[in-house]
Amino acid sequence: MARKTPARKKSRSKKVRRICIMTGGGDAPGLNAVIHAVVNRATRTYGWEVVGSEDGFEGLIQAPRNGKVVPLDRQRVKGIAMQGGSILGCSNVANPWAYPKKHKDCTRYFDMHRTMLKHIEHHGIDAMIMVGGDGSMSMAQKLWELGVPTVGVPKTIDNDLAGTDRTFGFDTALHHATWAIDALHTTAHAHDRVMIAEVMGRHAGWIALHAGIAGGADIVLIPEIPYDVKRVIRKIRSLGGRWSSYGLIVCAEGAYPGGGRISVKRKAGKQVEGLVGHQAKLGGAGEHLRSLLAGKIPHDVRVTVLGHIQRGGSPTPFDRILAARFGSAAVDLVARSGFGRMVSLRTPHIVDVSLSEVVGQPHNVDPTGEIVEVARSLGVEMGA
């Protein structure tokens, strides 16, 4: 059950003295804003020390002498809230339960979680704040089950994490994607082409759907609605005369034709204790669609893959503020021993939910939901 986070808490915890924050998984705009908020809330309100684990779990897996668990104070985080990336670094491979090590020509995976627990004790860490997506929240849940006081902060540009209305990073990615689609309109018009913009999102179509509507796309293809290429062709052929026959398609990286498969560049790696060592790397959805359209429409078709542009750059004001709210609320959650939970946006309030309600429960686009119906009402072809 969601629970509203109370107003600012004045009393100091008698048990917590030092907390550790880490930014796991892929990077997302707003990570530094969370770090900034956590450090300021923890030091100003509760008088705690804050340290950061560099490169996700890597800092806690490595020996303490390597210096990858670093002190964070207000001076260290001053001015970072508007910066992209993470001053602590990120890692989507430093999995303590399936830690990769190169051995000759292959990679082997080792269970390093006991080493990590020893290092948490060595550094005098009383509580963990883990910032990340579904994979990081899975590990946060496992840490909590092992007895490590842990709270989660939801982060992903894909907006596919359950338990929260919005994750920070999504708004910035949407901004970048919309800007790119706006730019593609002019070159598509100039050459009377069909332009396919492939955007991120993995198995969720939030970026594609929102950017497609905002950018005035003719066709939007998302994983939640397998598409019929005949409908796509029919839509392109229905476009106007000489001055408006160009087309703009926004294709999520996880989109695929009905009866077909998701385009994958790299298969998923070893799965250990319910955690994937390497997720499948999606890619090629735009090129696959182009091949299906070849010779069937009177247009030259070009594909633009936006890729990591969507992850980069300074966070939007919305993401900075949401990240600051999450970071502050996470510290308050630690103060009242609300471990095993994740802070969450239930508009307009910041609340907290059990990690067990979040893990393995993807937040996908509802194919019959209001935002899809809005797209259809604007004449956007959804492929089915």
Mean pLDDT of the chain: 91
- Could you tell me if residue 382 is inside a domain? no
Tens digit of each residue's pLDDT (9 = 90 or more) over 303-354? 999 989 999 999 999 999 999 999 999 999 999 999 999 999 999 999 999 9
Question: If you write DSSP's letter for every residue of 283-327 in order, what string do you get?
Answer: --HHHHHHHHHTTTSSS-EEEEE-GGGGT-SPPPHHHHHHHHHHH
For 265, the 3-state DSSP assignment is strand
C-beta atoms surrounding 102 within 10 Å: 8
- Could you tell me if residue 41 is inside a domain? yes
Task: Indicate whether 63 and 111 sit together in one domain.
Answer: yes
Task: Indicate whether 30 and 151 sit together in one domain.
Answer: yes
Task: Indicate whether 270 and 302 sit together in one domain.
Answer: yes
What CATH number has the domain bearing residue 135?
3.40.50.450
- Could you tell me if residue 371 is inside a domain? yes
Task: Indicate whether 218 and 181 sit together in one domain.
Answer: yes
- Could you tell me if residue 282 is inside a domain? yes
- Could you tell me if residue 384 is inside a domain? no
What amino acid positions are annotated as catalytic residues? 158
Can you give the residue range of the structural domain that contains 186?
Answer: 173-312+366-377
Tens digit of each residue's pLDDT (9 = 90 or more) over 38-82? 999 999 999 999 999 999 999 999 999 999 999 999 999 999 999
Question: If you write DSSP's letter for every residue of 153-182 in order, what string do you get?
Answer: EEB-TT---TTSS--BTHHHHHHHHHHHHH
Task: Indicate whether 193 and 179 sit together in one domain.
Answer: yes
- Could you tell me if residue 240 is inside a domain? yes
Are 91 and 24 in contact, with CB atoms under 8 Å apart? yes
Task: Indicate whether 110 and 159 sit together in one domain.
Answer: yes
- Could you tell me if residue 164 is inside a domain? yes
In sequence order, what are the beta bridge partners of 281? 266
What is the pLDDT at residue 281? 80
Task: Indicate whether 111 and 81 sit together in one domain.
Answer: yes
Task: Indicate whether 342 and 303 sit together in one domain.
Answer: no
Q: Cα angle vertex 298, ends 289, 198, to 5°? A: 25
Task: Indicate whether 352 and 370 sit together in one domain.
Answer: no
Tens digit of each residue's pLDDT (9 = 90 or more) over 186-229? 999 988 899 999 999 989 999 999 999 999 999 999 999 999 99
Task: Indicate whether 59 and 154 sit together in one domain.
Answer: yes
pTM higher than 0.85, yes or no? yes
Q: How many structural domains are present in the chain?
A: 2
- Could you tell me if residue 383 is inside a domain? no
Task: Indicate whether 198 and 296 sit together in one domain.
Answer: yes
Task: Indicate whether 323 and 251 sit together in one domain.
Answer: no
